[in-house]
Each structure stands twice: as structure tokens, then as C-alpha cells.
Structure 1
Amino acid sequence: MLENPINTLYPINEVFQTIQGEGIFTGVPAIFIRLQGCPVGCPWCDTQHTWEQQPNDEVALSEVTEKTQATSHWANATAEQLVDLLKQKGYTAKHIVITGGEPAMFDLIELGQVLEQAGYQLQIETSGTFLLKVTDATWVTVSPKLDMPGGYMVRPDCMKRADEIKYPVAMQKHIDQFDRLLATCPPREGVSIALQPISQRPRATELAMKVCIERNWRLSVQLHKYLNIE
């Protein structure tokens, strides 16, 4: 553990072990730590219950690992408490995905350091609209959200820090928007780029496949939804 931990409190909506269903780590056993809070406002978001952090929704930490359905309940926890919780649950996965909500709203450096010292590999999934505060070893997956109701802009520094870029698409205008983003906020050379069809819509999948083949990009199909797992 850290010699002088800050004991930052993180609002936890959910903690569970499953298979990563998206991006480069598709198929890898993973522990998901879902944080509460997101102002971006994506219309197709399938975790809208994580958007608001209401005081009357706060529960005990033990309750966020026992959920049988999506709720807006959340619990505060320090990094050390989370490590203890993972050990108590007997989780075997060593890959941890910090998601949300929008996890980059929070300073994740202490969390990352504590998890890494405990033997875990850390990945964050972010919209790229907040300054990233993560460890150097954290794998950063940026899923750019453009022209969303919240009005947040994708940050050039997030695009540069990305280890992979996973972009949701449904129609040609989304490809055009993405091209403009890549021109104004170019990622590092060699970064993996994947297109992800929104809500498994057939036309979106067909478009994503076509563009991926043309540009030698990857296709991310949200495997967990096809397998009907979380």
C-alpha cells in the first residue's frame, strides 16, 4: 500500500467480475468498478442510472457488489477498501476496468497506485471530455463522445494519451464527425482505433464493418450483450 495514502473517496455504483466485452481486451476476465456520476448525457447510454450522485442513494459498500439489477445506489470507498472488498469476494481476475458514469471526473492516481501494488492491471474507459488523472501504467480507452447534450468537448490531451480509441457509430454522420476529430485532435502513432455499432443495430454494424475494412481499423461488437452477460 502507499506510505502516505490520501484516502480519496470514490463513489462506487457497482463492482462485479465478468468478461470484458469491448475493445482490445475483449474476452479477458475482468473486474468492473463502476463509478457514479456523468454529465456528458449520451442519448443511447445504457447506464443512465449512474448519471446523478444523489445523497439519498448512498448505501453501504457491501450492497454495491450484491446488485441484481441496475440502480442509482452508490457507496463511498477508499482504494484500500476496494482492494479488501475484491479479496473478500474471492475474485480471480487481475484486469480491472474503471468505468461509469464518467470515471475521469475523479482523480484516479491513488486508486491506480493501490490496485497496481496489489497486483492488478488497470484500464479506464472514458469519453475523453475530462482531464485524465491516472497512473502511467493505466491502459486508457477513449470512447469519444461528440456533440452530446452535456456540451463537453473531447480533449486533445486525452486523445494523445489514449492507448486505444473506441468510437460508437450508427450512421455516416458519426463517421464524418470522427474524421473531423481525428484531424483536429490526432492520437499517437499506432494507436488502435475501433468502431463500435450503437445498440447492435444491423445498419450500424454494416457501416462499421465497411469502414473498418476500408481503413484497417478494428470492429468492437460489445460481445457481452450478445452473450447476455453484464
Structure 2
Amino acid sequence: MTVKYKINELFQTIQGEGAFTGQPSIFIRLQGCPVGCSWCDTKHTWEIDPSLVISSTDLLNKKQESEHWSQLSADDMVKLFKLQNYSARHIVITGGEPCMVDLTPLCDTFESLGYSCQIETSGTFEIKTSKNCWVTVSPKVNMKGGYAILNSAMQRANEIKHPVATEQHVDDLKALLSEHNITDKPIYLQPISQKQRATELAIQTCIENNWRLSIQVHKYIGIE
């Protein structure tokens, strides 16, 4: 049975966050997320409304953010990559919350064709993916949706990328790392909304803890 995924966006750009900053990438943004982050910049991906299904052609022709989504298989997406002449060989699967569904068939298909895969997740759902997929957990603590961060997600993470604006966010991260006994993974702090105070806090905290800074390069240079 062919697995179909609910896709809000599909586009080629430069990865602007975390360990793969600067990497040409194909972004696949899935529809659906119940986590409820107050600062989320993709709230148009939260709800799954069956009346808003569109064709793959309309998906590629989107000119602005919307709640419209298309239902595509991995093979459908590969055909679109070729149709669009995408040259990137790294795929970023994000959302929404991509780990609401089993991503193993999707990543297996892409990897069999020579692509590398990366998932960006809140860590609130079990991560089902291929062994070689790079997993970025951006833990969302005490969000409106009430979901807990799963230990299985923290252990599977290849990197942990935490949004920060206040000292409380730093304290939350330290508590989370201690709770799940995380001592050997790359830790990135990402200032929320590029605000100066948040950026200064992130820089100082990274220096103090020997963590890394992720500044959402794509937003500073004005690309998607």
C-alpha cells in the first residue's frame, strides 16, 4: 500500500539552522501539529482541513503561506523534484509536527535514491524513521497542547536545538538535559524571533556552557 503524506509546502532553499546551516536542501513541510507553540512561525500548518486539499501543481505554485495542503507519496515527491529541477541532495522534513506519522517509508525511498534526510521535530511524538536519518529535536516544553517531551525522542536526537527568549527557557533546557541524562549531543540555542535580547542571552549562554548558536540564517538574508 502506497503511503500518502499531507504536505503544506515543498521547496528548495538553504538550510538556515543547526548543524546543516548553509546546506542546499529540499524542504518538505507536513500539515498538522497539536503542540501549540505561542511563537510558532508556521501556524498555518496546525489544522488539517480536508476541504483545503489542493493538487501538487497548486502546491508548487503557492505564492504565500496558507492552510492548503496536498496529499503526496514519496514517489510523487521525487517526480516533483525532477519536474522542478531541484539539485539539492539533502532533504529536511519539518512541519507542523512531522513525527505524528511514520516517516520510515519516506526516508527509505529518498535514501535509496542517494538523498540524505533530516527531520525537525518537537520531541513530543515517537520518532519513526530510517536509521541514517539525522534527527533534530527542538524540544517544546510546557506548550499549550500539553505534550511531554519523550525520552525516546531525546535519545534518538542527533542534535538538540532549543528556542530561547528568556532565562526560563535556558533553565527548562538544562532541566530537560538532566532529566534525560543528555551529555554527549550537540546543543544549539536559537533566539526566538531574532530579538536582540534573546540573541544576547543565547550567545552568553552558549559561551558559558560550550553550546552552539543557531541564528536562523535564512531569515537574516531574506530567503524561505
Give the alignment's TM-score, normalised by structure 2. 0.98
1:82 match: secondary structure: helix
1:59 corresponds in structure 2 to 54
Determine what percentage of the aligned residue pairs are the same residue.
55
1:204 matched to 2:198? The reply is yes
Q: Deviations along 1:152-174, whole A, 9 cap, x unmatched?
A: 00001100000000000000011
1:113 matched to 2:105? The reply is no
In the alignment, the residues of structure 1 paired with residue 138 and residue 36 of structure 2 have an alpha-carbon distance, to the nearest angstrom, of 14
1:95-110 equivalences in 2 (<5 Å): 95-110=90-105
1:24-39 equivalences in 2 (<5 Å): 24-39=19-34
2:26 match: secondary structure: strand
Q: Deviations along 1:140-160, whole A, 9 cap, x unmatched?
A: 000000000000000011000
Q: Kindly report structure 1 stretches of 4+ aligned residues shifted beyond 4 Å.
A: none
In the alignment, the residues of structure 2 paired with residue 185 and residue 83 of structure 1 have an alpha-carbon distance, to the nearest angstrom, of 37
2:155 corresponds in structure 1 to 160
In the alignment, the residues of structure 1 paired with residue 98 and residue 89 of structure 2 have an alpha-carbon distance, to the nearest angstrom, of 19
In the alignment, the residues of structure 2 paired with residue 41 and residue 133 of structure 1 have an alpha-carbon distance, to the nearest angstrom, of 21
Q: Is the 8 A contact 1:97 1:124 kept in 2?
A: yes
2:221 corresponds in structure 1 to 227
Stretches of structure 1 that go unaligned for 5 or more consecutive residues are: 1-5
Match of 1:73 among 65, 68, 80: 68
Count matched residues.
224
In the alignment, the residues of structure 1 paired with residue 113 and residue 56 of structure 2 have an alpha-carbon distance, to the nearest angstrom, of 20
In the alignment, the residues of structure 2 paired with residue 182 and residue 95 of structure 1 have an alpha-carbon distance, to the nearest angstrom, of 28
Q: Deviations along 1:40-68, whole A, 9 cap, x unmatched?
A: 00000000000001011100012212211
Q: CA deviation at 1:106?
A: 0.8
1:17 matched to 2:12? The reply is yes
1:47 corresponds in structure 2 to 42
In the alignment, the residues of structure 2 paired with residue 228 and residue 105 of structure 1 have an alpha-carbon distance, to the nearest angstrom, of 30
In the alignment, the residues of structure 1 paired with residue 21 and residue 44 of structure 2 have an alpha-carbon distance, to the nearest angstrom, of 24
In the alignment, the residues of structure 2 paired with residue 58 and residue 26 of structure 1 have an alpha-carbon distance, to the nearest angstrom, of 32
In the alignment, the residues of structure 2 paired with residue 57 and residue 17 of structure 1 have an alpha-carbon distance, to the nearest angstrom, of 23
2:163 match: secondary structure: strand
Q: Which moved more, 1:189-198 or 1:141-150?
A: 189-198
1:33 match: secondary structure: strand
Question: Over aligned residues, Cα RMSD in angstroms?
Answer: 0.8
Q: CA deviation at 1:186?
A: 2.6
2:186 corresponds in structure 1 to 192
1:178 corresponds in structure 2 to 173
Stretches of structure 2 that go unaligned for 5 or more consecutive residues are: none
1:24 match: secondary structure: helix
Q: CA deviation at 1:118?
A: 1.3
In the alignment, the residues of structure 1 paired with residue 121 and residue 52 of structure 2 have an alpha-carbon distance, to the nearest angstrom, of 24
In the alignment, the residues of structure 1 paired with residue 81 and residue 165 of structure 2 have an alpha-carbon distance, to the nearest angstrom, of 37
Give the alignment's TM-score, normalised by structure 1. 0.96
Q: Is the 8 A contact 1:97 1:125 kept in 2?
A: yes
Q: CA deviation at 1:84?
A: 1.1
1:8 match: secondary structure: coil
Q: CA deviation at 1:35?
A: 0.3
Q: Is the 8 A contact 1:159 1:186 kept in 2?
A: no
